Structure 1
């Protein structure tokens, strides 16, 4: 697959970010791009801890950046190392990530290992003076996430998480429109991510089952909540600029009864203080509806993944249909019907408008990685980017806990940090 590395200058020009205070207030992490700093002669010496499928996907963008030198690869699985070397043939190879942290010439690490191993690697990296990019979800538990974020604060090191939608032009423009009141008062947010597949990977020998298919076992992963929901729940807090207060839901294994320990379908409801609800649903035995976030306001609806929005008021039906509808209303107006029995639904006729005129070529991954590199080189942590990743991780873990315990859970006060309008304590050093 050929990946497109989008120029940040082109991105900012297309988004109208330069000089756009409103947009930067909604996406303050774009300060990594809006503040022009000459770094063309600088290099980020980067180590990849976990060059598996996701790690190599990120590498495919990084190797296109002339400011990046991938100098080290670390993995306990040799085939991943072999594939990683095809992208970074000059990189040194390690089996123990702690050896990488001993190298004083390495500026930063990218962590793309199984979820249960994130915390210790990231904490050790911060202690070794490294900047960190950690794939979502950042921790295996809420307590781990808090420790990671606290260490980021206490060390002052750059910290990014794999929330690429933060740099996706569709989502950035969507949030600008939402916060400007374009769609009125937001009343509900529906998110879903559906697939049709067992989520398994080929295993060369039985003893490698859990190592390769770690996403299917509770010892290593929380399944759909940590692998998929983490992206979409961040969209809700970004849109409403606050956190939900509580969550409830249900999860089960209903189709892929193959020995897996994580659910193959989940449904969560997150409730905000004003009663607004955000749902997350995922089924991996039917892909018809795919993935989307539907943000519904009193004046319109926006679907950022499609890059489209729809206003509630649409042009009237064509003349003939309008005439028929009027006739039907007149004939049956004395009967206790709620409305016409077959009038066309406007939602089906409303084809909407594209947010940016056309679908962007990137989902934000290349720009997220470029921003990380710029932050490492300039030693400037963009505002709120660590906090967005932190809360996205916390929300999906709280949701998973609600599924496991089958009860309503409230967001713990002890894990609230300074974010938007929240009054909360600053994390203490771990």
Structure 2
């Protein structure tokens, strides 16, 4: 199924069916924004929200005018990041009543995205919603319907979708630079136990919400979703079949979400994608390898390499360790190939710039409701495959 074949048919939501994107035509552009700057409120000032505020502070014509969190110490941290210039709120609904707020950035636990995003749209605010978009198939459908009926800019926070390096690589892949794509090998080995310190037991679930199924989609929603988004972007397809397994095998600490996940997606074109995610101290980090019939492209968060299925051209003749022969180019890495050099900003900063420009320009960003909703559905089906131990199919 092509990515644009998405639109929601409301009567099918209970069956988990998401169909074509004709409804999304209603949000192809926005109207009525007549300012040269955007005032934004950050809802959720935990690690991600507080991490984004300094980036916003360094973006022209994007201003943090309000911060909101239900935890007092988190709210204080967020306010401090604005040099105490923003308004502070403990109730996001009060933020949405503030006429000085043009847009909201939602960086709260996954389970809260739906309610906040829906309410923000109803309040007439432009929305930057951190990944993964929302939890649950029915909720995904309802949000698409609601945003489609508005003239507001909506961006999903898959920041690599905004990376100019990734954009360049996607263009290379679509032009057939490594031939026909056969598979993707994606990994994210997150060092440590993924747990944050808690000063008081009453804050355990609020701070370590990623550990609990009620609030979180675990590593699939928080980490692998970026790579799932990338594969769909490259192929312009949604997976037709999703298989997965996982477990709690590294950290016996009371968590509910898996500490290792293993997913296989099969796409209509026949391409297979593997997504492996671990929380431990295993070396390897973040990597995507795209395998074509003429070569491979490997990406990390900020670098990329291309490796054709042939020896690189000789750069010069020399003697190495007493052996006379030819050497490969100096910047050639045997396992990865030649670097792909593209000037690019930090992806999160670029994503915020893209959002600001989209709001002011009355457009939709590259990481929009459509791409975010497709990825969110794939994430939900992957969770269902793992937790129910049953293959899931894209209806």
Q: Is the 8 A contact 2:298 2:336 kept in 1?
A: no
Residue aligned with 1:377, SS: helix
Q: Which among 232, 235, 241 is matched to residue 240 of structure 1?
A: 235
Q: Which among 39, 46, 57 is matched to residue 40 of structure 2?
A: 46
TM-fit CA distance, 1:95 = 1.0
Residue aligned with 2:264, SS: strand
Q: Is the 8 A contact 1:173 1:355 kept in 2?
A: no
TM-fit CA distance, 1:350 = 5.2
Q: Which among 275, 289, 293 is matched to residue 294 of structure 1?
A: 289
TM-fit CA distance, 1:375 = 1.5
**Cα distance in 1 between the residues matched to 2:267 and 2:367:** 20
Are 1:163 and 2:158 counterparts? yes
Aligned residue-pair number: 349
Q: Is the 8 A contact 1:170 1:304 kept in 2?
A: no
Residue 306 (structure 2) aligns with: 309
Query: TM-score if structure 2 supplies the norm length?
Result: 0.83
Residue aligned with 2:149, SS: helix
Gaps of 5+ in 1: 1-30, 33-38, 322-346, 413-430
Give the structure with higher Rg (CA). 1
**Cα distance in 2 between the residues matched to 1:320 and 1:284:** 44
Q: Is the 8 A contact 1:164 1:363 kept in 2?
A: no
**Cα distance in 1 between the residues matched to 2:44 and 2:318:** 61
**Cα distance in 2 between the residues matched to 1:214 and 1:383:** 29
Are 1:75 and 2:69 counterparts? yes
Q: Is the 8 A contact 2:155 2:367 kept in 1?
A: no
Correspondence list, 1:50-129, <5 A: 50-88=44-82, 89-129=84-124
Q: Is the 8 A contact 1:197 1:284 kept in 2?
A: yes
TM-fit CA distance, 1:383 = 5.8
Correspondence list, 1:182-261, <5 A: 182-261=177-256
Q: Is the 8 A contact 1:165 1:363 kept in 2?
A: no
TM-fit CA distance, 1:304 = 2.2
**Cα distance in 2 between the residues matched to 1:203 and 1:235:** 34
**Cα distance in 2 between the residues matched to 1:234 and 1:350:** 25
Q: Would you tell me which structure has more helix in proportion to its own residues?
A: 1
Q: Would you tell me which structure has more strand in proportion to its own residues?
A: 2
Are 1:398 and 2:392 counterparts? no
Are 1:388 and 2:371 counterparts? yes
**Cα distance in 2 between the residues matched to 1:55 and 1:263:** 24
Are 1:352 and 2:337 counterparts? yes
- Please provide the CA RMSD for this pair: 2.4
Are 1:377 and 2:357 counterparts? no
TM-fit CA distance, 1:363 = 3.8
Gaps of 5+ in 2: 1-27, 321-331
TM-fit CA distance, 1:319 = 12
Query: TM-score if structure 1 supplies the norm length?
Result: 0.77
Deviations 1:90-149 (A, max 9, x none): 211111111111122311111101111110111000001111000001111122122222
Deviates more, 1:109-118 or 1:377-386: 377-386
